[in-house]
Amino acid sequence: MSVQVDARGFSCPQPVILTRKALEKGQFPIEVLVETVTSRENVRRVAEKAGCRVSVEEVGNEFKLIITKE
């Protein structure tokens, strides 16, 4: 069962903070929903620094990042 983080409507650094909290819980995969390219890249960066793999899907004008542990 995946964990979902809905960070739509939040500006940085809030999406990163929410993602870090989900990463600390250690339940994978984690799906993060964001609206901006900046949030997408910041969330991707924090997840990759934590040793995770990140795939990105563009859904309309939004992004869904799927974070898995390598």
Show the domain range for 12.
Answer: 3-69
Q: What is the pLDDT of residue 20?
A: 98
Contacts of 12 (CB under 8 A, 6+ apart): 38, 39, 42
List the CATH number of the domain containing 40. 3.30.110.40
Confidence of residue 67 (pLDDT cuts 50, 70, 90): very high
Task: Give the global pTM.
Answer: 0.94
Q: How many domains does the chain have?
A: 1
Cα distance between residue 62 and residue 50, in whole Å: 23
pLDDT tens digits, 18-52: 999 999 999 999 999 999 999 999 999 999 999 99
Q: 52 is written with which tokens?
A: 């995770």
